[in-house]
Amino acid sequence: MLWGGRFDEKLNSLALEFSSSYDVDKTIVIEDLMVSKVHAAMLAKVGLISPDEANQIKSGLEQIESEWNSGAWHPGSSEFEDIHSAVEARLYEIIGKPAGKLHTGRSRNDQVITGFRLWTKKAITSLLDAVRELQKTMVSVADNHTETIISGYTHVQRAQPVSLAFHLLAYVEMLNRDAKRLEFVLSETDKSPLGSGALAGSTLPLDRQYTSDNLGFSEPCRNALDAVSDRDFALDFLNAVSVGMMHLSRLSEELVLWSTSEWSFIKLADSLTTGSSLMPQKKNPDMAELIRGKMGRISGNYIALLTIMKGLPLSYNRDLQEDKEPSFDSFKTYFECLHLMTMMIASMKPDTNKFENELKGDFSLATDLADWLVLKGIPFREAHSIVGHVVKLAEDSGKKFDQLTLEEIKTVNSIFDESALECFNIKTALWRKKTFGSPNPEIVKEEISYWNSLLSQK
């Protein structure tokens, strides 16, 4: 224990097991050791411990790190209430009395949150790499499908033709916002609480700038009271992960639909699908379904920490021990989901002719015909009504758009001429788009070049 002098009895064994965070915060043991090494070096710098004591402490901490990595030292929650007390106890065993000087000018409050911030910075960097890899994969696949026509949907009803490339680039945009959110959280996390003590700093001449610099932070936290109780960075992290997972969940839903017999648009790799224990013919998109399902736990983790924080007075409260498990779980889940999604997108096989055949003469070309009328000087609301009558004419005749003759559409309005029939040609539908941000293949190719250039710098 790192405390106990004013107590007559040891902590009850059940209370120790209940209150121990060891099994969770052992995740940040490397960060904890790093914090202690820098803290010891700072103590020697300002003359609070001797250089020899600092060297002994550093040597002992390096031995602990080696033992941890090799598996030679792995204490349990039945022995220690957290990883920090376990490290200090082991340090005593290795170097003896000098270990007692390591905690000079330091509280577990600032020690733990410093390690947690270091871990969060590292986690964000890993997630950014994974997000960028998924973006690059999507852009690469998109480059092969700028003219692969698919149906765009609103209300899960066919709306207008787009391309698979255009569709994938929509997710590239989402992922870019995910990356920007993570970059923001990284900047918010990049402040060092070390030296804040329990809540009010220290009477000792600690050099907080030194520890901040040597731990790789941009600056020290400016207010000790806030520094030890602030979990906004963790909330921002969990929020960023939640939004990112929501995007993966939406994409997963589309992959599930596209791979059904009803859609029959893509085939997912055998290595990323499963079968049925009863039905031999089944090929289930389980990875996509699991990503979609895990969104629940990710959003739950965010709500859990938000709920913990809402009633806490300044500064530290033991409730904050519950801050790390949601972050650790959300990181691991999101990181794995990003990699699995990258694999699914890279290996999926689209049927490039599927929608072109289905959309031939489809009513989803109706807006193109309305635009044709607008170019002839017809007000859009009137054009909308005219095309509605053309649709009804086709339905009543049991025909598709491209099966209507010029004579038939002229019965709706005499303004129609031969060029209007080109609006019913699905092969030219994408090329007719004029605006920036549309699925015109030339515009999409420019967007692919834009993303290739941008992502090559990441």
User: Which residues are catalytically annotated?
Assistant: 155, 276
List the end-to-end C-alpha distance of the chain, in Å, as a whole number: 45
Q: Alpha carbon of 29 to those of 23, 228, 456: distances in Å?
A: 11, 19, 34
Q: Are strands 219-220 and 266-267 parallel, antiparallel or unpaired?
A: unpaired
- DSSP readout, 158-211? EEEEEEHHHHHHHHHHHHHHHHHHHHHHHHHH-EE-TT-TTTT--SS---HHHH
CA distance 140 to 132: 12
Residue ranges of E strands in 343-389: 349-350
Q: Are 425 and 402 in contact (CB under 8 A)?
A: yes
Q: Alpha carbon of 195 to those of 71, 98, 187: distances in Å?
A: 31, 20, 20
What length does the chain have? Answer: 458
214: which residues sit within 8 A by CB, 6+ positions away? 38, 41, 42
Q: Alpha carbon of 395 to those of 153, 155, 157, 391: distances in Å?
A: 21, 21, 17, 6
The tokens for 342 are 């990258």
Which uninterrupted H or E stretch holds 149? strand 149-154
Exposure letters 276-291 (e unless 16+ CB within 10 A, then b): eeeeeeeeebebbeeb
